[in-house]
Amino acid sequence: MVDTLCLIPAKGCSTRLHRKNMLPLGGEPLISRSIKKALEARIFKHVCVSTEDLAIAELAKYQGAEVPFIRPEKLSHDPATIVDVVLHALNYYKEQGDFFEQVCVLLPTAPFVTVADIKNAMDVFNDRGDNALLSVTNTEFPPYNAWLINKTESEDVLSPCFPDSSYRYTKSTECPSTYRSNGAILIVNSHAIQKNKGYQSESIIPYIMPAARSLDIDTELEYQFAVFLYEAGLHEQ
């Protein structure tokens, strides 16, 4: 079996939603849900939580995850990216003499990803052999009709994002399907992300998930919607 690191980024200083990774859902913090699913999958050599927050670190250890380091503050604030966090973790383990061929990133703010999703995504990634896999879901509205607001000296005006698109005036039902990242799963080849300092390429594998399991919590409204979906049982679709 290929050695895989499961990395769960969980900073304490959330920008838009205060301490979102510790918010309760179904009687447990979001971070706990991610850890339990990663451990239940039984496909990872290590399940590591990367955080700068001591309370999150203690909870993660209690739930069975590893917290072998406290993330540097500079990687817990903008403009640090998920790529920076992955590279930091890989470098730490490398210094300890431990190397992983691939990394699976699970975000606590995508609480409805399932163990089956995680295992299936890993199977697809290993079968395809590309450098990255990203979980996605259908966009509700085609982007071809999106607008930008341009600010002038006297007033704001709308201008199309894609003025040359042949689908600008096409019904949404007749436009090609488009997808967005849902924040649930990212799998990367360690060699590739260390070499390229990123994972964007022309051969990212899509792992398509339904809308009901694709909520990514970043605002109070999204959190309340997640609570509603959970209590109504709609997240299991």
Domain layout of the chain by residue ranges: 4-137+180-236, 140-177
Sequence-separated (6 or more) residues with CB below 8 Å from residue 20? 14, 30, 108, 109, 217, 218, 223
Task: Quick: pLDDT tens for 74-91.
Answer: 999 989 999 999 999 999
Q: What is the mean pLDDT of residues 14-26?
A: 94
Tokens of 172: 């949404």
Helix 54-62 and helix 30-41: axis angle, to 10°? 40
Note the CATH architecture for domain 4-137+180-236: Alpha-Beta Complex (3.90)
Sequence-separated (6 or more) residues with CB below 8 Å from residue 126? 2
- Write down the mean pLDDT value for the chain: 95
> pLDDT band for position 212 (50/70/90)?
very high
Quickly count: other Cβ atoms within 10 Å of residue 54's Cβ.
11
Q: What phi-psi label fits residue 26: left (phi over 0), alpha (psi between -120 and 50 degrees) or beta?
A: left
Distance CA 203, CA 98 (A): 28
Sequence-separated (6 or more) residues with CB below 8 Å from residue 54? 70
Distance CA 88, CA 82 (A): 10
Task: Quick: pLDDT tens for 139-181.
Answer: 988 899 899 999 887 789 999 999 999 998 888 889 999 999 9
Q: State yes or no: pLDDT of 237 exceeds 80.
A: no
Q: What is the mean pLDDT of residues 92-98?
A: 97
Task: Quick: pLDDT tens for 104-145.
Answer: 999 999 999 999 999 999 999 999 999 999 999 999 888 998
Which residue, among 190, 184, 187, has the nearest Cα to 213 in the 3D structure? 184
Q: State yes or no: pLDDT of 15 exceeds 90.
A: no
Q: What is the mean pLDDT of residues 25-47?
A: 98
Helix 30-41 and helix 115-128: axis angle, to 10°? 50
**Residue 27 φ/ψ, nearest 5 degrees:** 85, 5
Instruction: Say if pTM beats, i.e. exceeds, 0.85.
Output: yes
